[in-house]
Amino acid sequence: MGEFSADWLALREPVDHRSRNLSLQNQVIDFLNQSTPVVPGLMHITDLGSGTGSNLRALAPHFGAMQCWTLVDYNSNLLRAARTTLLSWADGVLDSNTPNLIGELGYCSGPVEPLVITKSMKTIAVQFRCADLLADYRSILNEPADLITAAAFFDLVAEPWLAAFCAALTKPLYTVLTYDGKETWGPPNALDADVLRAFHAHQSTNKGFGAALGPRGADRLQSLLEGKGYITACEPSPWRMDYHDRTLIEQLAMGTASAVREMGMQETSVIDQWEQTRRQASHCEIGHIDLFAYPA
Ligand SMILES: C[S@@+](CC[C@H](N)C(=O)[O-])C[C@H]1O[C@@H](n2cnc3c(N)ncnc32)[C@H](O)[C@@H]1O
């Protein structure tokens, strides 16, 4: 599969953050405030497919005063970029041994040094775990955590992996921005429907876990978790973009066109024409789903 670049993740971060469903986020915060953490006084969160840590930056300012995050990704370059980005995002940096937060839950050694930062009056310990979730999800899910999170991840996975992941999950899961396949580009273009069909076909190709669920990821996740007795809630979190988001719209049109070209379902000239108009689209809405699920 194509790797996600730190530049692409940085470009989408502002729209990702403003698109997240706040009502569902508040449910998660209430739930955490009412539950007993694994380590008293400390909230431990494990973020799957963390990239450069966007999910942490969105959530940590709203979580408890003392937090310990484990960012999991198989791309060590993205984990390094996460560390650098978090250092510039933080209000302050503490010596990682001062409050021995990371030690509370067992330090996982790896290529990227852990850090402890402060932000919005929170103390946030972060460790970086370089691991392939295809194989390592069980050991990661077995580690102590109050919440498992993910962003823009569950559309990449395949049904058998998701079924095994859900069977192994025992903790609350909060995952945001799973692509749901709904797209509206403006002004309307006669080629949109065909391009979207081919893009969906590309979304279902192997993204490292077998044939990806793509737009069906959130639905399947919800059904599988309900099947094992979890209580679930889903809310929409569409990207709504206009001329303020020109660069992202342009990159999205280019990325979509390139994916559609790979599928060979349309004449190249048709895709080129679509790309040319869509790079200048006046607005664009891309559907996503946020999901929160916890054991009954
Ligand atoms: C669409 S990006 C989202 C990144 C981040 N959550 C965000 O919202 O910015 C998907 C992330 O999943 C990671 N990923 C994909 N397959 C993975 C795997 N098998 N194991 C670990 N991480 C994986 C990628 O490296 C990438 O960082």
Domain harbouring 147, CATH code: 3.40.50.150
Q: How many CB atoms lie within 10 A of CB 286?
A: 22
Does 200 fall in a domain?
no
- Ligand 1, residue 4: give the atom nearest the CA: 26
Tell me whether residue 194 is in a domain.
no
167 lies in some domain: yes
Residue 160 included in any domain: yes
- Calculate how far, in angstroms, residue 294's C-alpha sits from the geometric centre of ligand 1: 22
110 exposure class (CB count in 10 Å sphere: 0-12, 13-18, 19+): middle
* Structural domain includes residue 53: yes
Cβ distance 27 to 34 under 8 Å?
Answer: no
CA distance 58 to 18: 9
The enclosing H or E element of 182 equals strand 173-186
pLDDT reported for residue 95 = 78
262 part of a folded domain: no
**Residue 253, number of CB atoms within 10 A of its CB:** 21
Query: Of 291, 127, 277, 148, which Cα lies nearest the Cα of 224?
Result: 291
Q: Is residue 31 part of a domain?
A: yes
Query: Does the residue 268 lie in any domain?
Result: no
Say which DSSP state 218 is in: H
> Candidates 73, 161, 286: which one to mutate for ligand 1, based on the most atoms within 8 Å of Cβ?
73
Give how many domains the chain has, as a whole number.
1
d(CA 55, CA 64): 15
Instruction: Write down the mean pLDDT value for the chain.
Output: 95
Q: Are 86 and 60 in contact (CB under 8 A)?
A: no
Q: State residue 140's pLDDT score.
A: 97
The CA 191 to ligand 1 mean position distance, Å, reads 30
Q: Which domain covers residue 227, as residue numbers?
A: 6-181+210-240+285-295
Q: Which atom of ligand 1 is nearest to the CA of 55?
A: 8
Residues in the chain where the model's pLDDT stays below 70: 1-2, 96-107
Q: Contact at 8 Å (CB) between 101 and 116?
A: yes
Is the pTM higher than 0.85? The answer reads yes
Question: Which residue intervals of the chain are DSSP H helices?
Answer: 6-19, 22-34, 54-59, 76-89, 101-104, 133-142, 159-168, 192-203, 217-227, 246-263, 268-278
| Cα Dmax for the chain | 61
In this predicted structure, what is the pLDDT of residue 1? 45
Give the Cα separation of 143 and 110 in Å (integer): 16
Q: What token pair was written down for 275?
A: 């790309």
Query: Which ligand 1 atom is the nearest neighbour of the CA of 75?
Result: 25
Closest atom of ligand 1 relative to the 209 alpha carbon: 19
275-296, pLDDT tens digit by residue?
999 999 999 999 999 999 999 9
Q: Determine which residue's CA is closest to atom 27 belonging to ligand 1.
A: 51
CB 212 within 8 A of CB 156: yes
Pairing of β 230-236 and β 43-48: unpaired
Nearest CA to ligand 1 atom 14: 49
Query: How far is residue 81's CA from residue 274's CA, in Å, rounded to a whole number?
Result: 34
Q: Which of 277, 294, 193, 185 is nearest to 238 (CA)?
A: 185
Q: How many angstroms does the Cα of residue 150 sit away from the middle of ligand 1?
A: 9
Residues with CB under 6 A from ligand 1: 4, 9, 16, 49-51, 54-55, 73-75, 78, 132-134, 151-153, 156, 208
Residues forming beta bridges with residue 93, ordered by sequence position: 117
Atom of ligand 1 lying closest to residue 16 CA: 8
